[in-house]
Structure 1
Amino acid sequence: MFDLVTDVDDYPKFLPWCGGIEIRHRDDTSMEARIDINFKGIKQHFATRNSMERPTRIDMEFADGPFRKFTGFWRFTPLRADACKIEFALHYEFTSILLEKIIGPVFNHIANTFVESFVKRANQRYGQS
């Protein structure tokens, strides 16, 4: 699952709201990427700087976009050779009340369906365990 989450180039293929990806930096322990949102007429982008410890964690912090604050993490705890427990948390505040009203519902939908989208993609790619 760690590899699936860090394969951001693949996001437009299975995240219906993802309009594109720009990798700004990537190495074995960090990545900065911009994600374009194109969903229900709303177009926006945001970028995160991620620190990574393969295969157990990804920590995200705000790089740029419509947020005042943005932090999050993924945690992957092995259960069996072919399964893991996934923990995902995201905390964010938009830069203005207007952006919250316009983009908030779209971003809330994205955040609430994020893990489910990755589980579906893992089942497509690796088969269901």
Structure 2
Amino acid sequence: MDSAYHALRQLARYWETFRDKDDPHMSPAVTALEAALWTGRAARVHVILNGTPAPSILGAASHEMFGTVILAWVSATTWQRLAPIAGPAPKPSKHGGRGHVIQHGEVHETQAIWMTDADVVTWLTDPDDTQS
């Protein structure tokens, strides 16, 4: 799910606008996503969520829904919300493309590969291309 924070906020706002009195308070789409996220780890289903999971929508323990958290360029507050077991946020790097992978409470610094959409398509479709 790309731009998760905005998508979840829009789903919640849409539901508040169009739901009937007898309908549940939470949007069925948000409820389904939350169920998939909680069940996903137990069933080994992988969910990729790009963006900050809004605690006001998914709940305060949203960090527990993810077995692996990848963070780059986040505030200390966001770090503490999404990776509290990993300790304090590391100092920002001056090198572009640096990120942190958090698994089982351990932080691993990593380097991301910067590619355009065209670069990715070439890399995936033409393994003999030495330019990508």
Give the TM interval when normalised to the shorter protein.
Answer: under 0.3
TM-score normalised by length of structure 1: 0.24
TM-score normalised by length of structure 2: 0.24
If each structure's helix is expressed as a fraction of its own residues, which one has the higher value? Answer: 2
If each structure's strand is expressed as a fraction of its own residues, which one has the higher value? Answer: 1
Q: Who wins on radius of gyration, i.e. which is larger?
A: 2
